[in-house]
Chains A and B, each alone.
Chain A
Amino acid sequence: NAGVTQTPKFQVLKTGQSMTLQCAQDMNHEYMSWYRQDPGMGLRLIHYSVGAGITDQGEVPNGYNVSRSTTEDFPLRLLSAAPSQTSVYFCASSEGRNNYGYTFGSGTRLTVV
């Protein structure tokens, strides 16, 4: 009964480094999303997917890549980390269309120095 699992929980990167934030769900949900949470900004959508092989950009996609090769996994890649990407990142999944709520992971706190 794991739900949505995000790893790592904490990460410090140097400017210019790359890394992948992992997200996995075991509920066979079709929909998955990545959000970033910044003080006073709420949650902003980075990328989302409505099924394996399908991804789309959200409100703040620059500097991030995603892929969805399986239903279970939806990794978020930072190509060249910048201090502006310091944030808390949340992955979420949902069964489908808008009648369903999303289940959230516990988040990854990323600091770029």
Chain B
Amino acid sequence: GNSVTQMEGPVTLSEEAFLTINCTYTATGYPSLFWYVQYPGEGLQLLLKATKADDKGSNKGFEATYRKETTSFHLEKGSVQVSDSAVYFCALSQGNTPLVFGKGTRLSVIA
């Protein structure tokens, strides 16, 4: 079945550092790929998405490119802020099936 694997956390960075959170997936065909963010005490919010190979999703300075050849959708940000501290989830969806999530990566950004 479909699955998502993302890097283990927690990740601790200083403000203005470069962020990469790795995400790889297993699926047949061409799923849609998503990154969700969960701030403390809140539900999940859609951060960005890509629906076909080589698409780049972007939002709030975050980017991720759908790489079919490496089955990856790594999340990047050039300069993180304290307000980016949250848990980040990579997810995929295919056909009629709901989202399948990775286990999440907790990011802490210190000033």
Residues of A participating in the B interface, judged by any CB pair closer than 8 Å: 31, 33, 35, 40-45, 48, 50, 58, 90, 92, 94, 97-99, 101-107
Contacts and interface: CB of A to CB of B under 8 A. Distances in A.
Given A33-B99, A42-B101, A98-B95, A104 B31 contact: no
Nearest to B49: A101
B101 A97 contact: no
B103 interface: yes
A45 B32 CA distance: 17
Given A41-B103, A42-B103, A99-B32, A50 B44 contact: no
The 8 closest A-B pairs by CB, nearest first: A42-B103, A98-B93, A101-B46, A104-B43, A33-B98, A98-B32, A104-B44, A43-B101
B25 interface: no
B22 interface: no
A33 B101 CA distance: 13
A106 B95 CA distance: 26
Contact of A105 (B43, B51, B89, B94): B43
Contacts, number: 57
Interface in B1-15: none
A50 to B, nearest CB: 6
B43 A98 contact: no
B14 to A, nearest CB: 26
Contact of B98 (A42, A45, A103, A106): A45
B29 to A, nearest CB: 10
B102 to A, nearest CB: 6
Given A48-B97, A103-B46, 16 more contacts: A43-B89, A43-B101, A45-B99, A50-B96, A90-B43, A92-B44, A92-B99, A97-B96, A98-B32, A99-B51, A101-B46, A102-B46, A102-B98, A104-B36, A104-B44, A106-B43
